[in-house]
Copies of this chain bind each other. A is one copy, B any other.
Amino acid sequence: MSRGDLSREANGLEPRLSRASVGRLSLYLRCLESYAREGSATVSSGQLGDVLGVTDAQVRKDLACLGNLGQPGIGYPTAELIAAIRGALGIDRDWAVALVGVGNLARALLRYRGFAQQGFRIVALFDVDPAKVGQRLDGLTISGVDQMPAVIAATGAELGLLTVPMEAAQQVADALVAAGIRGILNFAPAVLRLPSHVSLVSVDLAVQLEQLAFLVQVSGNYSGPEPTTR
From residue A90, how far is it (CB to closest CB) to chain B in Å? 3
Q: For chain A, what secondary structure do more than half of its interface residues adopt (helix, strand, loop), or is it mixed?
A: mixed
Is the CB of A191 closer than 8 A to any CB of chain B? yes
In the complex, which range does the number of interface residues on chain A fall in?
A: 35 or more
Interface hit among A56-64, A139-147, A217-225: A217-225
**Smallest CB gap from A227: residue in B:** B207
A111: chain B residues within 8 A (beta carbon): 104
Interface hit among A23-31, A39-47, A71-79, A123-131: A23-31
Known: A23-B207, A52-B191, A213-B91. A197 touches B219 (CB 8 A): yes
In the complex, the answer to whether A209 meets B108 with C-beta atoms within 8 Å is no
Known: A158-B216, A220-B16. A115 touches B51 (CB 8 A): no
Is the CB of A155 closer than 8 A to any CB of chain B? no
From residue A178, how far is it (CB to closest CB) to chain B in Å? 17
Is the CB of A189 closer than 8 A to any CB of chain B? yes
Is the CB of A201 closer than 8 A to any CB of chain B? yes
Complex Cα distance, B184 from A226, in Å, reads 16
In the complex, the answer to whether B120 meets A206 with C-beta atoms within 8 Å is yes
**Smallest CB gap from A120: residue in B:** B209
Is the CB of A182 closer than 8 A to any CB of chain B? yes
In the complex, the answer to whether B90 meets A209 with C-beta atoms within 8 Å is no
From residue A84, how far is it (CB to closest CB) to chain B in Å? 14
Q: Which residues of chain A in 175-230 are interfacial with respect to chain B, using CB atoms and an 8 Å cutoff?
A: 182-185, 189, 191-192, 194, 196-197, 199-224, 226-230
Partner of A202, one of B20, B88, B203, B230: B230
- Taking Cβ atoms with an 8 Å cutoff, the residues of A that contact B are 13, 15-20, 22-23, 26-27, 29-31, 51-52, 88-91, 95, 97, 103-105, 107-109, 111-112, 114-115, 117-118, 120, 158-159, 182-185, 189, 191-192, 194, 196-197, 199-224, 226-230
